[in-house]
Amino acid sequence: MTIREYSIRSIAFQLRTLDEEEFIYEQAWANWQVQATKQQGKKPLYPTFKKFFDKKKLENEILGIESPENKFKKDNKLIDLMKKANK
């Protein structure tokens, strides 16, 4: 097996694991939805499944695709490091 094949298989394994994780989160979501009642008096912490489990975001992290949100977070980390270095 070449390094390229290994890399592709590694990414495929991570994506397969992500699919399994999504299934687990969907089960937890369904279980939570069944147990939720109107008498509770509180709004749900996660009103939609996407806010509970954002598969697209995790896929992008695995595949190395950066979103504008990720770039902004990295810039904040860089700024924090620069602040520490200047103290």
Distances (CA, A) of 85 to 46, 74, 79, 81: 38, 17, 10, 6
**What is the dihedral sign for C-alpha 7, 10, 11, 12?**
positive
- Indicate the number of domains in the chain: 1
Task: Read off the pTM.
Answer: 0.51
Q: In which domain, by residue range, is 47 found?
A: 3-86
Reply yes or no on whether the pLDDT at 39 is more than 60. no
Interval 40-80: pLDDT, tens: 566 666 777 787 788 888 888 888 887 766 555 556 777 77
Interval 16-33: pLDDT, tens: 999 999 999 999 988 887
Reply yes or no on whether the pLDDT at 38 is more than 80. no
DSSP single-letter state for residue 4: H
